[in-house]
Amino acid sequence: MKFLFLITFIHILPQCSGNPLSRHHTTSEEIKREIARYSDIAKAIINLAVYGNAQNRSYERLARFVDTIGPRLSGSKNLEMAIKYIFNALQEDGLENVHLEPVKVPHWERGVESAMMLAPRSYNISILGLGSSVATPPEGITAEVLVVTSFDELHKRAQDAKGKIVVYNQPYISYEETVKYRLLGAVEAGKVGAVASLIRSVTSFSINSPHTGLQKYQFDVPKIPTACISVEDAEMMARVASRGTKIVVTLKMGAKTYPDATSFNTVAEIVGSKYPEQVVLVSGHLDSWDVGQGAMDDGGGAFISWEALSLIKELGLRPKRTLRLVLWTAEEQGGVGAQQYYQLHKVNISNYDIVMESDEGTFTPMGLAFTGSDKARAILKEIMQLLQPINVTNIYENGGGTDIDFWVRDGVPGASLYDDISKYFWFHHSQGDTMTVQDPSQMNLCAAVWTVISYVIADMEERLPR
Ligand SMILES: [Zn+2]
């Protein structure tokens, strides 16, 4: 509704000359004309990314990267190798100010883990321990299962939970709504005396694979081992329990937390020609979970962000402001790299024009999600018109993201790629997050969108209003 109102507002303005609004009217018309003049550059970017020499490049770079390195868990040797690999690749690509900014990151390893159902039948349950979980004793934890569908039900049956393994079979509503079971399932079960918790994976679709992710303990609650299980196994145990049949499981987890490791945010730039101190930041995260290849989360977002700088350089363009690529580390541990970057650079916050992040897949792009003032939104609406040749012109609400929210909260305009996420959570944090999920032509389109938007914002005469 807000968006429609704004369109109407702009259309009415030309009739207002002579009143104080006319100044805004002039600015709007001027900005509209200025943005329209980028139409040839936008077409050149689109042609190069979608049809020209750079076609499929971000996909092929990503494939080579994930096939060489594999998944990239915070604190792991793989992540260290990945950062070296990218650092060299960005230098070879001829980008400017390629450098690493050190960050202390969590180092947790899952070790060997298993869950064996002993009663009513012998069955090997697929599990993935949740990030930061403690281990079981070497012989495992053998206990009866209590199945619940919600925290409410757990609290009502608190007396039954003591000494049990709590299995959560919560329905999937949305990621944002349902992820609280993964984040807090162990704490809530620990509060009522459970010995472990197994949590139905947070996904709308399943082919019997568990999905991992971060979970958080509370200092005053006993830390119990916790893992996710597949939708299928959660539903199966719920059915068995509903018949009054006793379920017994042995859970073994060898998870270990090591001292924090040194990692890095990886940075590269195209330095601005006129206002080099001003920054348009494009980003994705380089770390992933330790399953699959981390190709979708967030290989795609990281590599289209790199591609934006490559395309601009290849076209011989240099925007007035600095275009800065940041590949965050330890996003999956709660935006650890991004927080460190914010602490280090917030002193220059007035120089940040916009912060952009792609971390919800690089499927067919539909537009841009944006958080900022109405004036800035009106400018972005004009910029999106430059993407008419590939029909990606929509603007949506909520342009935040784990890694850029630190800035957005302080009033810096924020944007995230808005793409077709209908299958995103099918693969998210699972063995299924591989290159097979990625599509080269979809990545070409995402790269074109990301490049046109970031370039035009970096090159316009006026800064994006706050
Ligand atoms: Zn991600």
* 345 and 214 in a common domain: no
* 182 and 264 in a common domain: no
Distance 412 CA to ligand 1 centre (A): 21
3-state secondary structure of 171: coil
Give first-to-last CA distance, the chain, whole Å: 21
Residue 218 sits in which domain range? Answer: 111-254
Residue 139 counted as domain residue: yes
Residue 305 counted as domain residue: yes
Say what the pLDDT of residue 3 is: 32
* 222 and 83 in a common domain: no
Distance 297 CA to ligand 1 centre (A): 4
- Nearest-angstrom CA–CA distance, 42 and 454: 11
Say what the pLDDT of residue 27 is: 58
Distance 446 CA to ligand 1 centre (A): 16
Please give the positions annotated as active site: 331
Say what the pLDDT of residue 28 is: 84
Alpha helices (H) along 37-147: 39-46, 57-69, 77-92
- Nearest-angstrom CA–CA distance, 455 and 452: 5
Q: Which residue type does 399 have?
A: G
* 214 and 270 in a common domain: no
Distance 461 CA to ligand 1 centre (A): 33
Geometric angle at alpha carbon 257, from 253 and 258, rounded to 5°: 140
Residue 412's alpha-carbon distances to 335, 455, 463, in angstroms, are 18, 17, 12
Number of domains in the chain: 2
- Nearest-angstrom CA–CA distance, 400 and 381: 17
- Nearest-angstrom CA–CA distance, 297 and 73: 12
Distance 376 CA to ligand 1 centre (A): 26
Residue 152 counted as domain residue: yes
* 439 and 308 in a common domain: yes
Structure tokens given for 460:
């316009």
Asked which of 225, 254, 283 is the last residue of a domain, the reply is: 254
Say what the pLDDT of residue 187 is: 98
Distance 299 CA to ligand 1 centre (A): 9
Q: Which stretches in the chain have pLDDT values below 70?
A: 1-27
Q: What is the dihedral of CA 266, 271, 276, 280, to 10 degrees?
A: -60
Q: Scan for tokens 């305009």, then name that residue.
A: 413
- Nearest-angstrom CA–CA distance, 281 and 41: 20
* 129 and 102 in a common domain: no
Residue 157 counted as domain residue: yes
* 383 and 271 in a common domain: yes
At 186, which CATH number?
Answer: 3.50.30.30
Residue 21 counted as domain residue: no
* 266 and 248 in a common domain: no
Residue 314 counted as domain residue: yes
396-435: pLDDT as tens digits: 999 999 999 999 999 999 999 999 999 999 999 999 999 9
At 437, which CATH number?
Answer: 3.40.630.10
Residue 1 counted as domain residue: no
Residue 425 counted as domain residue: yes
* Cβ proximity of 142 and 226 under 8 Å: no
Say what the pLDDT of residue 54 is: 98
* 176 and 98 in a common domain: no
Say what the pLDDT of residue 12 is: 37
* 190 and 62 in a common domain: no
* 434 and 418 in a common domain: yes
